[in-house]
């Protein structure tokens, strides 16, 4: 399936290099999940009061759900290309989204992670919890403080007075279910 994204530019003119970057990133997303039904990308140009940073929003339709990444600049960018003598959180924030291509790449990276999580949920690969085990008290030795449990499969399990919660050893009787 070759999904064509709907690209919108705000506070800036349409730029072919940005459209090409969005098309390339959308193609990469299709490798992770090929059942996307729609894709809208909004690229907002830098505004002076927001320190000239780009803002990218991605809205992808998938079966039974809609995934949205509203990518604002954050303090989690990398400092690889930074030429400032001092590295600080402020320089990190400013550098990460002054380049529109980097902002697009970061937003699509977040969307890729969300698509992977969605695909895992759809395949049923989420963590399954073990059902709690059931057993009956088979033998009880109150004077020495221990006993044995019997599982429905016939296994016998030893337990000690200290392993019973809330001091409940005295309340146990043979045949009681635990």
Of 2-11, 12-21, 62-71, 81-90, the one with minimum mean pLDDT is: 81-90
- Classify domain 6-123 at the CATH superfamily level: Ribosome hibernation promotion factor-like (3.30.160.100)
Instruction: Show Cβ contacts of residue 59 under 8 Å, excluding neighbours closer than 6 positions.
Output: 38, 39, 40, 41, 42, 66, 67, 68
Strand 146-150 versus strand 38-44 pairing type: unpaired
Over the stretch 36-95, which tens digit does the pLDDT of each residue have?
A: 999 999 999 877 655 668 889 999 999 989 999 987 655 444 444 444 445 555 444 445
Round to whole Å and give the CA distance between 148 and 135: 10
Can you give the pTM of this predicted structure? 0.58
Return the half-sphere exposure (C-beta side, CA atoms, 13 A cut-off) of residue 2. 2
Q: What was the pLDDT predicted at 91?
A: 46
pLDDT level of residue 32 (50, 70, 90 thresholds): confident
Phi, psi of 160, deg, nearest 5: -115, 160
pLDDT level of residue 132 (50, 70, 90 thresholds): confident
Q: What was the pLDDT predicted at 119?
A: 87
Mean pLDDT score across all residues of the chain: 82
How many percent of the chain have pLDDT more than 70?
79
Higher local confidence (pLDDT), 175 or 91: 175
């Amino acid at each position: 399936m070759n999904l064509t994204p709907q690209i919108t530019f705000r506070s800036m003119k349409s730029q072919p290099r940005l459209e090409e970057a969005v098309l390339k990133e959308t193609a990469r997303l299709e490798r992770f999940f090929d059942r996307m039904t729609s894709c809208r990308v909004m690229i907002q140009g830098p505004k002076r009061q927001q320190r000239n940073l780009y803002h990218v929003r991605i809205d992808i339709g998938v079966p039974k759900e809609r995934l949205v990444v509203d990518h604002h600049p954050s303090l989690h960018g990398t400092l690889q290309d930074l030429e400032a003598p001092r590295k600080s959180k402020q320089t990190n924030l400013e550098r990460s989204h002054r380049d529109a291509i980097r902002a697009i790449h970061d937003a699509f990276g977040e969307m890729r992670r969300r698509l992977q999580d969605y695909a895992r949920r759809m395949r049923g690969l989420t963590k399954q919890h073990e059902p709690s085990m059931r057993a009956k008290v088979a033998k009880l030795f109150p004077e020495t403080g221990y006993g044995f449990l019997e599982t429905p499969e016939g296994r016998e399990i030893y337990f000690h007075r200290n392993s019973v919660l809330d001091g409940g050893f005295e309340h146990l009787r043979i045949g009681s279910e635990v």
